[in-house]
Structure 1
Amino acid sequence: GSDDAGRPMRADVSGSNLRSVLLTGGTGYDPSRDGERRRVTVRGSEVSDATRQINAKITGRGDEPVEELLESE
Protein backbone atom coordinates (compact mmCIF):
# COMPACT_ATOMS: atom_id res chain seq x y z
CA GLY A 1 0.00 0.00 0.00
CA SER A 2 0.90 3.65 0.03
CA ASP A 3 -0.03 6.93 1.72
CA ASP A 4 -1.45 10.18 0.32
CA ALA A 5 2.00 11.35 -0.88
CA GLY A 6 2.73 8.04 -2.65
CA ARG A 7 5.21 6.79 -0.06
CA PRO A 8 5.24 2.98 0.11
CA MET A 9 4.31 0.98 3.21
CA ARG A 10 7.02 -1.47 4.30
CA ALA A 11 6.36 -4.64 6.28
CA ASP A 12 9.63 -4.31 8.22
CA VAL A 13 8.73 -0.83 9.58
CA SER A 14 6.39 -1.03 12.57
CA GLY A 15 3.54 1.37 13.29
CA SER A 16 2.00 3.84 10.86
CA ASN A 17 4.48 6.72 11.18
CA LEU A 18 6.97 7.95 8.60
CA ARG A 19 10.53 6.69 8.94
CA SER A 20 13.70 7.52 7.06
CA VAL A 21 15.45 4.20 6.42
CA LEU A 22 18.59 3.18 4.54
CA LEU A 23 17.56 0.73 1.79
CA THR A 24 19.57 -1.59 -0.43
CA GLY A 25 16.51 -2.62 -2.45
CA GLY A 26 13.00 -3.96 -2.08
CA THR A 27 9.80 -1.98 -1.64
CA GLY A 28 10.42 1.73 -2.17
CA TYR A 29 13.84 1.61 -3.86
CA ASP A 30 15.36 -0.10 -6.90
CA PRO A 31 19.17 0.39 -6.95
CA SER A 32 20.87 0.84 -10.32
CA ARG A 33 24.20 -0.71 -9.23
CA ASP A 34 25.24 -3.53 -6.90
CA GLY A 35 25.90 -2.31 -3.37
CA GLU A 36 24.11 1.00 -3.87
CA ARG A 37 22.11 2.23 -0.87
CA ARG A 38 19.83 5.22 -0.39
CA ARG A 39 17.95 6.81 2.50
CA VAL A 40 14.24 6.77 1.68
CA THR A 41 11.18 7.98 3.61
CA VAL A 42 8.64 5.17 3.97
CA ARG A 43 5.51 4.55 6.03
CA GLY A 44 5.03 1.73 8.52
CA SER A 45 2.93 -1.35 7.80
CA GLU A 46 -0.02 -0.40 10.04
CA VAL A 47 -3.08 0.96 8.19
CA SER A 48 -4.09 4.46 9.38
CA ASP A 49 -5.98 7.57 8.20
CA ALA A 50 -2.97 8.52 6.04
CA THR A 51 -3.21 5.25 4.05
CA ARG A 52 -4.70 5.84 0.60
CA GLN A 53 -4.08 2.52 -1.16
CA ILE A 54 -4.02 -1.06 0.08
CA ASN A 55 -2.68 -3.79 -2.19
CA ALA A 56 -4.53 -7.05 -1.60
CA LYS A 57 -4.81 -10.47 -3.17
CA ILE A 58 -7.87 -12.73 -3.04
CA THR A 59 -6.66 -16.20 -2.06
CA GLY A 60 -9.94 -18.08 -1.63
CA ARG A 61 -13.69 -17.89 -2.10
CA GLY A 62 -16.15 -17.36 0.71
CA ASP A 63 -19.94 -17.42 0.88
CA GLU A 64 -20.42 -13.82 -0.32
CA PRO A 65 -19.49 -12.66 -3.84
CA VAL A 66 -16.43 -10.39 -4.14
CA GLU A 67 -18.46 -7.61 -5.81
CA GLU A 68 -20.75 -7.45 -2.76
CA LEU A 69 -17.78 -7.16 -0.39
CA LEU A 70 -16.19 -4.34 -2.40
CA GLU A 71 -19.34 -2.19 -2.61
CA SER A 72 -18.96 1.12 -0.82
CA GLU A 73 -21.63 1.96 1.72
Structure 2
Amino acid sequence: MPYVNIKVTDENVTTEQKSRLIEGVTDVLFEVLGKNPDSTYVVIDEVPLTDWGVGGVNVAEYRARRAATE
Protein backbone atom coordinates (compact mmCIF):
# COMPACT_ATOMS: atom_id res chain seq x y z
CA MET A 1 0.00 0.00 0.00
CA PRO A 2 2.16 2.89 -1.25
CA TYR A 3 1.70 6.37 0.14
CA VAL A 4 3.22 9.30 -1.75
CA ASN A 5 3.21 12.84 -0.38
CA ILE A 6 3.88 15.59 -2.92
CA LYS A 7 4.60 19.06 -1.58
CA VAL A 8 4.39 22.07 -3.87
CA THR A 9 4.37 25.79 -3.26
CA ASP A 10 0.89 27.31 -3.32
CA GLU A 11 1.17 29.06 -6.63
CA ASN A 12 -2.08 28.40 -8.42
CA VAL A 13 -1.71 24.66 -8.97
CA THR A 14 -4.88 23.73 -10.80
CA THR A 15 -7.17 20.81 -10.10
CA GLU A 16 -6.23 19.44 -13.53
CA GLN A 17 -2.51 19.57 -12.68
CA LYS A 18 -3.13 17.82 -9.37
CA SER A 19 -5.17 15.13 -11.11
CA ARG A 20 -2.34 14.58 -13.60
CA LEU A 21 0.19 14.29 -10.78
CA ILE A 22 -1.96 11.76 -8.93
CA GLU A 23 -2.54 9.70 -12.06
CA GLY A 24 1.10 9.88 -13.14
CA VAL A 25 2.52 8.84 -9.78
CA THR A 26 0.00 6.02 -9.51
CA ASP A 27 0.90 4.81 -13.01
CA VAL A 28 4.65 4.89 -12.27
CA LEU A 29 4.22 2.86 -9.09
CA PHE A 30 2.23 0.29 -11.04
CA GLU A 31 4.66 0.16 -13.98
CA VAL A 32 7.86 0.07 -11.94
CA LEU A 33 6.85 -1.82 -8.80
CA GLY A 34 3.62 -3.54 -9.80
CA LYS A 35 1.70 -1.74 -7.05
CA ASN A 36 -2.07 -1.97 -7.26
CA PRO A 37 -3.55 1.44 -8.15
CA ASP A 38 -6.55 0.69 -5.93
CA SER A 39 -4.32 0.70 -2.86
CA THR A 40 -1.99 3.57 -3.87
CA TYR A 41 -2.48 6.82 -1.97
CA VAL A 42 -1.21 10.17 -3.26
CA VAL A 43 -1.53 13.33 -1.18
CA ILE A 44 -0.67 16.79 -2.46
CA ASP A 45 0.13 19.50 0.07
CA GLU A 46 0.33 23.13 -1.01
CA VAL A 47 2.79 25.08 1.12
CA PRO A 48 2.92 28.89 1.35
CA LEU A 49 6.14 30.41 -0.01
CA THR A 50 6.94 31.77 3.43
CA ASP A 51 6.68 28.28 4.97
CA TRP A 52 9.18 26.69 2.57
CA GLY A 53 12.87 27.38 3.02
CA VAL A 54 15.85 27.18 0.70
CA GLY A 55 19.32 28.59 1.17
CA GLY A 56 18.54 29.62 4.72
CA VAL A 57 15.56 31.82 3.84
CA ASN A 58 11.95 31.31 2.78
CA VAL A 59 11.22 30.89 -0.94
CA ALA A 60 9.73 34.38 -1.30
CA GLU A 61 12.95 35.95 0.04
CA TYR A 62 15.14 33.54 -1.95
CA ARG A 63 13.41 34.48 -5.19
CA ALA A 64 13.60 38.19 -4.37
CA ARG A 65 17.35 37.91 -3.81
CA ARG A 66 17.84 35.99 -7.06
CA ALA A 67 15.77 38.51 -9.01
CA ALA A 68 17.91 41.34 -7.62
CA THR A 69 21.06 39.70 -9.01
CA GLU A 70 19.70 38.95 -12.47
TM-score (norm 1): 0.27
TM-score (norm 2): 0.27
